[in-house]
Amino acid sequence: MKKKIWLGILLVAVISVTLVSYTRDQKNFEIAKNLDIYHTLFRELNMFYVDEIDPNKLVKTSIDDMLQSLDPYTNYISEDQIEDFRFMTTGEYAGIGALISKHDDDIIIAEPYEGFPAQKSGLKAGDILLEVEGKDTREMTTEDVSNLLKGPANKPVSIKAQRPGNKKPFTVDVVREKISIDAVPYYGMLDKQTAYIRLSQFTANCSQEVKNAFLDLKKNNPDALVLDLRGNPGGLLMEAVEIVNFFVPKGEEVVSTRGKVKQWDKVYYATSEPIDTTIKIAVLVNRGSASASEIVTGAIQDLDRGIVVGSRTFGKGLVQTTRDLSYSTKLKVTTAKYYIPSGRCIQALDYSHRNEDGSVGNVPDSLISEFTTKHGRKVYDGGGIVPDMKIDSDELSTLAIELVTQFKVFDFATLYSNKNTSIPQPEDFSINDDIYNQFKEFVKASEFKYDSESLDEFNALMETAQKEKYYKIAEDEFRALKAKLEPNLDKDLAGFRDEISELLEDEIVSRYYYQKGAIRAAIKDDKGIQKAIDALHSETAFAAYFKPGTVINMN
């Protein structure tokens, strides 16, 4: 009997191995077959297509479309994209230190970085780049001009530019430098008790920047910290682990990764002694906080180390690994998912099960699971990190959006800064009646036009009502409502003054005090920061967030 059982087990094992081997061989055959089809198709296309084709462009297009069918984060990095990829991961490149943008038909300086070659050479935001190294930029893309501006460090690049309001062009030789963008653009004290650190990206060594900032702030003996991760798209995993380690005991689990290749699965722990395990922490997040930002936020929340303030985060819980390909190219491929200490995954969209039209959906409610934090609070997966204290995002009006996208705010700030040599400190500067009236006249003189989405919806409703013969029944009401929805520049500039003034203030301050100044100016009116401060300094409220089942509602 025992012999028969062992023979049965052996037979099952042999069949299993055979099936696995067959499946693997079949898959390898399918891969080889399709690669051969692709090769022959490309050869025939190259030989017989009516026009000349660009092999590099055609292949890259096919690769990009193939990878896009998987998820947005699996990408092919060609030779000419390697420098941009390196900048994304290190925050370093050799150039003039300025953002450039396309404005109508011109390439302009959108923002010079403080202390870098462009700013030190006298270039300002709004300056039009006419020529770079003697080459006319009028027919170039921003990518073309950017490539000309980048180059070997300590080598000059000749730039011919024109300043708005001054018809005479000027030429300047800007000596390129190795540009390293600060991951912490600003830190300081919000009040006598509350420290503040703004982290904009998770590039190499950003954890050291956070550490240096926090140690400097500790000299003020704060009892609370606001860590601002709003708009931070993420970056390097290990930098996120290091930052969490500053505030949690050695040995705590921070995040784990799990994927198809099991030997790559890994759990990341806090491996060093922390800096401070008692200071009260509030992490500020929004829809733009993703990936590594969500690891820091989720770990702080799951370990009951601090509170999360803002709106639900982006929900990117996919891990990418970079693999070297031939001819100095690379493949950035999704290999695993992130899981934060409670065990939940932060990935929001399901790319593995696409709809028939190719679209993807959010994780359905039926698949959302309940987890618990270290102290027993209930938390859920299903995408992103849900804040402990929710703040509704302020949506900009259509008018404000159009004023930004049509460069009206930008152009006014350019003219204002060219006419005024200085302004008060960022915390003291505000858009008064005189400045706002100047802006209104500037907008009117520019023949600015904008549409109302509400009016578009209303016109569609009115057209439907006419077809269904309901329009005449409520014709007076329709006319009255249309008059209220009709865009009226004077009325809308008055009605949306507060939000437009904030945009103007940010743009003008950045011309004099650059990025740090713009952050300093914004802090005083920042609702998220004020909510965080209120919670941090309310002993009962802050403590209650960590008690299972307690619901806090702070207005």
Same domain, 339 and 379: yes
- Select from 156, 149, 175, 173 the least CA-distant residue to 83: 149
Q: Are residues 193 and 156 in the same domain?
A: no
Domain that holds residue 298: 186-390
Euclidean distance between the first and final Cα of the chain, in Å? Answer: 75
Give the closest residue to 227 by CA, choosing from 301, 186, 307, 283. Answer: 283
Q: Give the residue, 525 or 547, on which the prediction is more confident.
A: 525
Quickly state the pLDDT bin for 483 (edges 50, 70, 90): confident
Task: Supply φ then ψ for residue 386, to 5 degrees.
Answer: -85, 125
Catalytic-labelled residue, pool 200, 207, 291, 417: 291
User: Does the residue 10 lie in any domain?
Assistant: no
Residue 358 scores a pLDDT above 70: no
173: domain CATH number is 2.30.42.10
10 Å Cβ neighbour count for 277? 13
What percentage of residues in the chain have a pLDDT greater than 90?
A: 62
**Closest listed residue to residue 360, CA positions, set 8, 68, 143, 124:** 68
Cβ atoms 389, 297 nearer than 8 A: no
Is residue 138 a contact partner of residue 98, using CB atoms and an 8 Å limit?
Answer: no
CB of 499 closer than 8 Å to CB of 397: yes
Whether residues 418 and 299 share a domain: the answer is no
Mean residue pLDDT across the chain? 89
Give the Cα separation of 226 and 195 in Å (integer).
Answer: 6
**Catalytic status, residue 316:** yes
Q: Which amino acid is at 142?
A: T
- Kindly state the tokens that stand for 522: 């914004």
Q: For tokens 């708005």, what's the residue?
A: 164
Out of 71, 182, 302, 526, which one is annotated catalytic?
A: 302
> In this predicted structure, which of 97-106, 182-191, 542-551 has the lowest mean pLDDT?
542-551
464 has pLDDT over 90: no
Q: List beta partners, residue 75.
A: 332
Q: What is the pLDDT of residue 555?
A: 39
How many Å apart are CA 402 and CA 414, to the nearest integer? 18
Is residue 213 domain-shared with residue 305, that is, in the same domain? yes
The number of distinct structural domains making up the chain is 3
Q: Is 268 within the bounds of a domain?
A: yes
Instruction: Using the 3D structure, point to which of 390, 410, 436 is the last residue of a domain.
Output: 390
Q: How many CB atoms lie within 10 A of CB 464?
A: 11
Percent of the chain with pLDDT over 70: 92
Concerning whether 538 is annotated as a catalytic residue, the answer is no
Q: Is residue 9 part of a domain?
A: no
Q: Which of 124, 160, 280, 316 is catalytic?
A: 316
Are residues 385 and 421 located together in one domain of the fold?
A: no
Q: CATH number, domain at 229? A: 3.90.226.10
Would you say residue 331 lies in a domain? Answer: yes
Cα dihedral 115, 120, 126, 130, rounded to 10, equals -130
For residue 480, count CB atoms less than 10 angstroms from its CB and return exposed for 0-12, middle for 13-18, buried for 19 or more: exposed
- Alpha-carbon distance values, 202 to 87, 210, 486 (Å): 12, 10, 45
Model confidence over 247-295: pLDDT tens digits?
A: 999 999 999 999 988 888 999 999 999 999 999 999 999 999 999 999 9
Q: Which pLDDT value is given to residue 170?
A: 96
Residue 241 shares a structural domain with residue 355: yes
Residues 6+ away with beta carbon under 8 Å from 133: 148, 157, 158
Does 303 fall in a domain? yes
Do 146 and 225 share a domain, yes or no? Answer: no
**Mean pLDDT for the stretch of residues 517-539:** 92
Interval 157-174: pLDDT, tens: 999 999 998 889 999 999
> Is 216 among the catalytic positions?
no
Rounded distance between C-alpha atoms, residue 182 and residue 205, angstroms: 10
Average pLDDT rounded to a whole number, residues 327-352: 90
* Pairwise CA distance, residues 299 & 316, whole Å: 15
Asked whether the predicted pLDDT for residue 302 surpasses 70, the reply is: yes
**Pick from 120, 148, 180: which residue ends a domain?**
180
Q: Taking 70 as the threshold, does the pLDDT of residue 20 lie above it? A: no
Q: Please compute the mean of the pLDDT values over residues 513-542 and round it to a whole number.
A: 92
Tell me what the mean pLDDT of segment 508-515 comes to: 96
Residues in contact with 191: Cβ distance below 8 Å, sequence separation at least 6, in sequence order: 533
Closest-CA residue to 507 (of 421, 373, 409, 420) = 409
The pLDDT of 29-50, averaged and rounded, is: 89
Mean pLDDT, residues 466-495: 82
Q: Would you say the pTM of this structure is higher than 0.95?
A: no
Pairwise CA distance, residues 234 & 168, whole Å: 43
Specify the pLDDT at position 551: 44
- 274 belongs to a structural domain: yes
Residue 48 lies in a domain: no
For residue 482, which phi and psi values (nearest 5 degrees)? -65, -40
Q: Would you say residue 428 lies in a domain?
A: yes
DSSP string, 24-69: HHHHHHHHHHHHHHHHHHHHHHHHH-SS---HHHHHHHHHHHHHHT
Per-residue pLDDT, averaged over 520-531, amounts to 93
- Of 390, 418, 441, the position where a domain reaches its end is 390
Task: State yes or no: pLDDT of 355 exceeds 80.
Answer: no
Q: Are residues 452 and 365 in the same domain?
A: no
- On whether both 214 and 292 belong to a single domain, the answer is yes
Q: Which two tokens stand for residue 25?
A: 């061989």
**Residue 143 and residue 132 in contact, taking contact as beta carbons nearer than 8 Å:** no
335 shares a domain with 201: yes
The whole-angstrom separation of Cα 265 and Cα 295 is 16
pLDDT above 70 for 3:
no
Q: What is the pLDDT of residue 84?
A: 77
Torsion sign across C-alpha atoms 152, 153, 155, 156? positive
Return the amino acid letter for 483: A
Q: 484 pLDDT band (50/70/90 cuts)?
A: confident
